[in-house]
Amino acid sequence: MMMYWTQLLPATNANHDYKLPSYGPVLKANKSLLGVAMAARTISPERRALMISMAMIETHHLSPSERDAKKDSRTDGAANATIFNLSEDLLRQVGYSGNIHALDPLARLSDVVGCLDKGINMWGVRRFLDFVRGGRDAFNDGKSYGADDYRCAVATALKLIDADPTLLSDDRRVEMDVKYV
């Protein structure tokens, strides 16, 4: 059994309510594409589990068409891009200077996981997840916009992957009701 949950988020509860339904061949294929992108960037196994966990929380099929586009017209850094719903502010902080929506297509997953990896290196897992969930407010206080609930959801997905590593590549999704997602 792997220990990604306790390795990455040791002080975080992993008790979020969840279901494990099948989402079919599209999810499985997109998990495979994400796996290829992570391999191309030599992402460590525990961070691969973290990234898959995050992606499963943000979209049903790891599909760009399912990303949160409600803030696309905002100019304050809150606009989201990629299947991970990363804010423009976060992407700028990790050094991405292009059009954030150029990162939306699955063909750019290698660049996206590079940004994720850089953010984790810069801030550590907990603060990185806080920034993903609630921007600078959550990054600064660890609570805004449901940061605690989001970390619990990620920890729960990691715990499930620890127990059943096939979740990294099969057609199932850890489905949770996470506030602000």
DSSP state of 86: E
CB atoms within 10 A of CB 2: 17
Determine the pLDDT at residue 129: 98
Question: Among candidates 142, 123, 145, which has minimal Cα distance to 134?
Answer: 145
> First vs last Cα of the chain: how many Å apart?
29
Determine the pLDDT at residue 73: 85
The dihedral through the CA atoms of 159, 164, 167, 171 has a sign that is negative
Q: Estimate to the nearest angstrom the gap between the alpha carbon of 181 and the chain centroid.
A: 11
Determine the pLDDT at residue 2: 84
Joined tokens for residue 181: 């997602």
How much is the pTM?
0.96
Residues 69-115: tens digit of each pLDDT: 888 888 888 999 999 999 999 999 999 999 999 999 999 999 999 99
Determine the pLDDT at residue 179: 81
Determine the pLDDT at residue 69: 87
How is the chain split into domains, by residue range?
A: 19-168
- Judge contact between 167 and 55, C-beta under 8 A: no
Helix then strand then coil, in percent of the chain rounded to 5, is 60, 5, 35
Q: Compute mean pLDDT per 10 residues along the chain, 181 residues long, and list them.
A: 92 96 98 98 98 97 93 89 97 97 98 98 98 96 96 98 98 92 61
Q: Estimate to the nearest angstrom the gap between the alpha carbon of 2 and the chain centroid.
A: 19
Determine the pLDDT at residue 181: 61
- Judge contact between 9 and 127, C-beta under 8 A: no
